[in-house]
Amino acid sequence: MTTSSGPVPSPASRGSASPPAPAPIVITGTGTDVGKTVATAALAAHGLSEGLDVGICKPIQTGLGPGEPGDAHEAARLSGARRVLEVRRLPDPLAPETAARVAGLPQSTLPELIDPIRAWLRAPGGSVPDSAPDSAATCGPARGRLDLVEGAGGVLVRLGAGLTVLDLARSLDAPVVVVARAGLGTLSDTELTVRAIEAAGLRCAGVVIGSWSADPDLAERCNLEDLPRVTGVPVLGRVPAGAGALSQAEFGRRAPGWFVPDLLDVLRSGDRRAHYGEKSTVLGSPACQAAG
């Protein structure tokens, strides 16, 4: 387990006066390589722009050796978030359950993953970093906190024997954000993912498009309008294609503009008003119509 948040203080040193931290946000995808890590970084950068203390957690990282920067650290590098936690790492680029089996290692259990995450969530936050956008209250006490937990692959990818991202989210009492593709086929993939989340008794806070072209085709434009209708949850934002290549400063400056203005309220309250159907034009959506 790696963390950049330092040792977890004892309950006594934390005191009893601090209010409980808000529930984290669990980030999943409709599949692999849909842009979860960059979307996580964008959400983190948005939180920093609002003056929040932001943390990023990756319960299980696969496909990397010791010392290589994982997804959580990449999201922190892009966003400027300071608190980072990676609970477990497996060497092969496979689903975590398969990666553990291939490596001859024990399967992850829910307590082994959730207990370090809960301890990390209980640890005191910090201040807004110097690298936060100018709109944030830099170098001062944070105005709250935002903790992001990035899953592996899709929502039903096995993290251990019979263990999925849904189990993590349920244990954390956390809403779930779905990162989806923009193009043809995403309507079914995204609706299936949202249905799985809601069937598990969890709240899907909304959808983020993980890679949005500067010149979207007809299917992408129509999908942006249709996703709220078929899934019943709002499209919260669109991350531009290639955003992961931006510098931290430029990424942090641009990221707030990739989301709906009241993003944090929607994430925390579940208010879905004004985000359905044509209301997604709050994101500047081009029209869903064929060229004349």
Answer for the pair 209, 182: CB distance below 8 angstroms, yes or no: yes
Active-site annotation holds for 58: yes
- Any alpha helices (H) in the chain, and if so which ranges? 11-14, 36-49, 71-79, 96-102, 110-122, 165-172, 186-199, 218-231, 248-254, 263-269
Q: Which residue has tokens 């959808």? A: 207
Lowest mean pLDDT among 38-47, 96-105, 131-140: 131-140
Q: Which residue has tokens 């899907």? A: 204
Which residues are annotated binding-site positions for ATP? 33-38, 71, 150-153, 210-211, 240-242
Categorize the per-residue pLDDT at 6 as very low, low, confident or very high, splitting at 50, 70 and 90: very low
Say yes or no to pLDDT of 119 above 50.
yes
The per-residue pLDDT of the chain, averaged, comes to: 86
Higher pLDDT, 198 or 280: 198
Q: Residue 135: what pLDDT?
A: 40
Say yes or no to pLDDT of 46 above 70.
yes
Edge-first strand order for the sheet with 235-240 is 2-3, 83-90, 53-62, 145-154, 25-29, 176-180, 204-212, 235-240
Q: Residue 288: what pLDDT?
A: 82
* Domain 20-282 CATH class label: alpha beta
Sign of the dihedral defined by the CA atoms of residues 152, 155, 157, 161, in that order: positive
Mean pLDDT over 5-22 rounds to 46
Mean pLDDT over 180-199 rounds to 98
Which residues are annotated binding-site positions for substrate? 62
Higher pLDDT, 8 or 64: 64
Query: Which of the following is catalytic: 41, 56, 58, 95?
Result: 58
Mean pLDDT over 98-122 rounds to 97
Q: Residue 199: what pLDDT?
A: 98
Cα–Cα distance, 102 to 85 (Å, whole number): 24
Query: What are the pLDDT digits (tens) for 135-179?
Result: 443 444 557 999 999 999 999 999 999 999 999 999 999 999 999
77: phi then psi, degrees, rounded to nearest 5: -60, -45
Which residues are annotated binding-site positions for Mg(2+)? 37, 71, 150
Say yes or no to pLDDT of 260 above 80.
yes
CA neighbor of 7 nearest in space, from 109, 83, 88, 90: 83
Say yes or no to pLDDT of 228 above 70.
yes
